[in-house]
Amino acid sequence: MHFNTKSTFIILLLTVMSIPSFSQYRRKKFDISEGLHIVPLGGVNVFYGDLVDKSRTSFTLGVAAEREMTTFLNARVSFMGGRMAGKQLNGQDQVYAYFSNFYTEFSLGATYRPLDHTLGYFRQRSFNPYLIGQIGINYFNATERYGEGAGEFQTTHPNYGQPRLDQVWHKKSGVTPLFSLGGGLTYYYNSLFSFKLELIANKPLSDELDGHKEWDDNVGNIHPTDAGDFYYTANVGLDITLNPSRWKNEPKYTRKAYLKIRKAQMRSGGTKRKLPQRPKPRRR
């Protein structure tokens, strides 16, 4: 009986002593800045829709923020915007109609780095490809106008009369869901900066990004068009590491990481710098 009481007391004492360590672990706060990257982006968008035969390329600008959640997966938020444009031709290669659309988009998603997943995490990897998946919303403000080749289509109907060059045909604005898939490539420069190249395919659920979802014949009949608005964005960016993540390189990359850091230090300083060395033990 004495032995059981003593054993029970020791077990209770050890349990009480371990509670503070568990509490400290639970109280550890989530640091959103850990592994946080900011990426200013700029490039072009290429639009495909009902009202585009040529001049489908225009500009895109924005910024993305990514946080390393695991050794191979990042959470991503992006805010982009720009201008879409395009022209439609008639049978005589004249511009029948043209549009411009100033848009903004906000998306949430993730990026996946297959090499870090399959070969092991290596922060200093020179070229690191990744896949992008996002969902979001797109706000559009599109204006469609007649071109010089529109006269033959709009001459007899009493509601129209002869259209004037650059006269507004349709004007549409709104918000639509957006689904995006793509990929990119990161080039590591140093511990603070990397360069990115991205290509993303975007599918909005609206067919009015070009202001055009129907057309009128010369007797006033309205014909709906096929829903097919779609656009690509191609961007370059500068990845700025605000706070390194806690993930460590795989042990097999230790030597390569050392050489990368040494080369970056020599490049930035202009002269060869010695890396810190472990102090030698004192002799007794």
* pLDDT tens readout for residues 178-232: 999 999 999 999 999 999 999 999 999 998 898 877 666 555 666 666 667 899 9
Q: Is residue 248 part of a domain?
A: yes
pLDDT for res 192: 94
pLDDT given for residue 156 in this prediction: 45
Query: What is the per-residue pLDDT across 110-146, written as a single tens digit (0 to 9) for each?
Result: 999 999 999 999 999 999 999 999 999 999 999 988 8
In sequence order, the β-bridge partners of residue 67 are 36, 75
Inter-CA distances, 156 with 35, 78, 87, 91, 95, Å = 65, 49, 24, 19, 20
What's the total number of domains in the chain? 1
pTM comes to 0.77
Name the most confidently modeled range: 90-94, 109-113, 149-153.
Answer: 109-113
Domain assignment present for residue 171? The answer is: yes
- The most confident of 9-13, 63-67, 258-262, by mean pLDDT: 63-67
Residue 116 within a domain:
yes
Contacts of 40 (CB under 8 A, 6+ apart): 62, 63, 237, 238, 240
Take residue 178 and report the two structure tokens written for it: 């957006």
> Can you name the residues that pair with 192 across neighbouring β-strands?
none
Q: How far is CA 15 from the centre of its chain?
A: 48
- Show Cβ contacts of residue 96 under 8 Å, excluding neighbours closer than 6 positions: 88, 89, 90, 146, 147, 149, 150, 153
Residue 212, SS3?
coil
> Residue 281 falls within a domain, yes or no?
no
Tell me if 157 sits within 8 A of 175, measured CB to CB. no
When the pLDDT of each residue in the chain is averaged and rounded to a whole number, the result is: 81
117-150 burial string, b = 16+ CB within 10 Å, else e?
Answer: eeeebbbbbeebebebbbebebebebbbbbbebb
Bigger pLDDT: 92 or 125? Answer: 125
Bridge partners of 135, per DSSP, are 108, 179
What's the confidence (pLDDT) of residue 199? 98
Q: Which domain does 141 fall in, by range?
A: 30-269
Does some domain include residue 254? yes
CATH code of the domain containing 49: 2.40.160.20
Angstrom distance (rounded) from CA 6 to CA 13? 11
Give the residue with greater pLDDT, 173 vs 146. 173
- Asked if residue 3 is part of any domain, the answer here is no
Q: Is residue 265 part of a domain?
A: yes
User: Does the structure show a pLDDT above 90 at 281?
Assistant: no
Mean pLDDT of 86-101: 82
pLDDT recorded at residue 157: 47
Percent of all residues in the chain with a pLDDT value above 90, rounded to a whole number: 48
**Which residue is associated with the tokens 């509670």?**
19
Cα 185 to Cα 175: distance, rounded to the nearest angstrom: 30
Question: Does residue 145 belong to any structural domain of this protein?
Answer: yes
